[in-house]
Amino acid sequence: MSEKIISIESHHPLDVFGANDQNLDLMRQFFPKLKIFSRDNFVKAIGEESTLLQFEEKFLMLLVHLDKFGKLNRNDISHLLENEEPELPETPGTGNDVLVHGKNGMLVRARTVNQRKMVESVENNDLVFAIGPAGTGKTYTAVALAVRALKNKEIQRIILTRPAVEAGESLGFLPGDLKEKLDPYLQPLYDALKDMVPPQRLLSYIDDGTIEIAPLAFMRGRTLNNAFAILDEAQNTTPNQMKMFLTRMGTAAKFIVTGDITQVDLPKHQTSGLIHVQSILTGVPGIDFVYLDQNDIIRHKLVIRIIEAYGK
């Protein structure tokens, strides 16, 4: 007998399991040979390995449906469990859309059409720009691709960076040295890594420099060889900062630049480097732009409504 633990940390348990675990009871009916338990933000199944693999595939399909439509009822579950094909077909050329096997058995996947375009684009280009609104998984997918490349020994280190722009808040009053002031600002990058790399290994990678998380200013004057570098929140770079980062690319390097051009925190007179670069590099061989939209949002369903309301 084997067991499988699947994380649902990005979802509310009630949305997944249903009132009084009625959704979970329906899953048990479809998998009578498994013992299935709910534990806070996890589901645990015990049984034969082949059946566990089927259960995992179907359960992850349910989570994709919940992300896309914001609800999961008994009819949805019955349809998805009976259906032989996944709800979202793979984009041709991407193969298996599992990017990383994360903590507690969680599978980190490209979960939307445009996230899959990101994966395919990175496979075919050394520099990719992923542009789209909040919640579309730009950063998370980029970090997963970097971790996959590191695990596959395609690169030797990961560089994660952000421009240290104070988005309506001041860092100066925070206690501590420069690193302690900036760490909270870089926390989203740490959060993504913690989902994908075991804690002790992550600490080891950071200690020995295999994974580096630093403000953009720390990149000046460097050459990044054999590295997977991600510039996050790139809408808050100036054109000169963007050029500086892009020209850090060394041999055997992959670069991903992510950002949301609707949330620029620069002074009003300052042009965003992410907006500017589209007119400079579009059409250059080896460079690609992938655009994500509201259909790719995988946070709470209200995020879609919020973005739509602000768009109006």
Say if residue 183's pLDDT is above 80. no
Say if residue 247 is exposed, middle or buried (CB neighbours under 10 Å; 0-12, 13-18, 19+). exposed
Q: What is the pLDDT of residue 301?
A: 65
Q: What is the pLDDT of residue 179?
A: 57
Which CATH code for domain 98-311? 3.40.50.300
Positions of CATH 3.40.50.300 in the chain: 98-311
Q: Report pLDDT digits (tens) over 125-163.
A: 999 999 999 889 899 999 999 999 998 899 999 999 988
Q: Report pLDDT digits (tens) over 85-112.
A: 443 333 333 344 668 766 555 677 788 8
Would the CA dihedral through 160, 165, 168, 173 be positive or negative?
Answer: positive
Q: Report pLDDT digits (tens) over 192-212.
A: 888 888 888 889 999 999 999
Positions of CATH 3.30.1370.10 in the chain: 2-82
Q: What is the pLDDT of residue 135?
A: 86
User: Alpha-carbon distance 118 to 97, whole Å?
Assistant: 11
Q: What is the pLDDT of residue 60?
A: 83
Fold of the domain built from segment(s) 2-82: Ribosomal Protein S8; Chain: A, domain 1 (3.30.1370)
Mean pLDDT of the chain: 83
pLDDT class of 299 with cuts at 50, 70, 90 = low
